[in-house]
Amino acid sequence: MMNREEILKFKEGLDDLNVYLSEKQYKQFHMFFDMLQEKNKVMNLTAITEGVGIVQKHFIDSLTIVKAEDMMEIDNMIDIGTGAGFPAIPIKIAFPHVEMVLVDSLDKRVNFVNEVIEALDLKKIRCIHGRAEDLGHDPQLREKFDLCVSRAVANLAVLAEYCMPFVKPQKGSFVAYKAGDLHEEIDMARNSVNMMGGEIKQEIGFFLPYSDISRSLIWIQKEMRTPKMYPRKAGIPSKSPIE
């Protein structure tokens, strides 16, 4: 269970983001916290293992999506390279109306996420084992989502090729969770984003609540359809990013 300090950090963060949870939702976060700590003892699930870190750098960080999107306007979303479920699981707990698809190429992480989905009794959510480059061509998933998110998976030029194919043209968006100085990364990615039918609209910089941990969300709007040839075959986007 979270201790007093962890609960306090969590509540401070939620207040700062204006996210309000029911008893049931708090309980789901507690269960997820316990499962992460238990599983991290036996396998390499996430680099962050101590309690306050999980609360701040995983739970609250994931929920900063509210700085970029009005989640009440989002019907469905997809998280590419979700790992142990970030940012998708905290967003799903806090905004249960959102239909959610999670993707990861590592099956031990997908198995863990499926255990979490079952234990927390989450509905309208599934975790798929696969690579973004392959799933981006699946007609059930391609250009079907209001929102695509991704955290700590690749640089922005590569991410654009992974993520933009899933986003609905005209009304959908892609939000990349980032940290550090992004000027160069954004400049390098502009062409790739445009090729995928998108445009970088905003970089939203902030500190995680009550901390000196700086973060950015890059908000990209999809304006046109992604050409059929993208994403290229698995492995190519990261080997030869579009310049």
Nearest CA to 113 out of 128, 95, 91, 132 is that of 128
Q: Does 106 bind ligand SAM (CB under 6 A)?
A: yes
**Which residue number, 152 or 213, has a Cβ lying nearer to ligand SAM?**
152
**Which residue number, 132 or 147, has a Cβ lying nearer to ligand SAM?**
132
What one-character DSSP code corresponds to residue 145? Answer: B
**Which residue number, 81 or 165, has a Cβ lying nearer to ligand SAM?**
81
Q: What burial letters (b/e) apply to 181-212, b meaning 16+ CB within 10 Å?
A: ebeebbebbeebbbbbbbebeeeeeeebbeee
Q: How many residues does the chain have?
A: 243
**Which residue number, 86 or 219, has a Cβ lying nearer to ligand SAM?**
86
One residue of 28, 40, 46, 56 binding ligand SAM per CB under 6 A: 46
**Which residue number, 8 or 66, has a Cβ lying nearer to ligand SAM?**
66
Q: Return the HEC string of 89-135.
A: HHHHHHCCCCEEEEEECCHHHHHHHHHHHHHCCCCCEEEEECCHHHH
One residue of 6, 69, 104, 161 binding ligand SAM per CB under 6 A: 104
Q: How far is the CB of 46 from ligand SAM (least distance, A)?
A: 6
Q: Does 81 bind ligand SAM (CB under 6 A)?
A: yes
CB 150 within 8 A of CB 163: yes
Residues in 136-195 at the binding interface with ligand SAM, rule: CB under 6 A:
151-153, 162
* E strand or H helix that includes residue 70: none
One residue of 39, 51, 55, 83 binding ligand SAM per CB under 6 A: 83
Q: How far is the CB of 22 from ligand SAM (least distance, A)?
A: 25
How many C-beta atoms lie closer than 10 Å to residue 5's C-beta? Answer: 11
CB 158 within 8 A of CB 133: no
Residues in binding contact with ligand SAM, number by CB under 6 A: 18
Residues of this chain that bind ligand SAM (CB under 6 A): 46, 80-83, 86, 103-106, 109, 131-133, 151-153, 162
